[in-house]
């Protein structure tokens, strides 16, 4: 603990802050009471890890990585805007949708993004 700061408070910049906030415990330590934000952070992180580990040379990998970074930033900022979340999801899905190895992580991220809206995103063909 740094003098005058509670345990779990941010004391540095960059990735260290992220880890301190994550390890601090509840979503309230992140400055939010919405558990969906923590779920979004986890889903985006999982997809980013799986994409980074995927060996194929994907033509739209850069688009997906950029949009996942945007999603991560929105989630960490607090209450993300539903239309922006859905736009990012659409871009990521368009870039990675044909990669079956990433489909479960992409589906998890979609489910979390859908949880931010009272009106679920329509499913094609259902």
Instruction: Kindly report, residue by residue over 56-83, the tens digit of the pLDDT.
Output: 889 999 999 999 999 999 998 887 889 9
User: Whole-model pTM?
Assistant: 0.68
* Rounded-to-integer distance, Cα 65 and Cα 97, Å: 14
Q: What pLDDT shows up at residue 126?
A: 45
Contact 91, 67 (CB under 8 A): yes
Mean pLDDT, rounded, for 33-45: 91
Q: Give the single-character DSSP code of 102.
A: G
pLDDT per residue as tens digits for the range 78-126: 878 899 999 999 999 999 978 999 999 999 999 999 998 875 555 554 4
């Amino acid at each position: 603990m740094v003098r005058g700061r509670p345990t779990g408070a941010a004391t540095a910049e960059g990735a260290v802050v992220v880890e301190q906030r994550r390890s601090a415990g509840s979503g309230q330590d992140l400055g939010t009471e919405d558990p969906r934000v923590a779920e979004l952070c986890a889903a985006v992180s999982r997809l980013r890890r799986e994409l980074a580990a995927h060996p194929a040379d994907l033509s739209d990998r850069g688009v997906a990585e950029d949009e996942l970074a945007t999603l991560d930033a929105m989630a960490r900022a607090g209450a993300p805007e539903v239309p922006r979340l859905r736009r990012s999801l659409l871009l990521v899905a368009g870039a990675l949708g044909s990669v079956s190895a990433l489909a479960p992580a992409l589906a998890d991220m979609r489910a979390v993004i859908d949880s931010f809206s009272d009106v679920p995103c329509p499913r094609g063909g259902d």
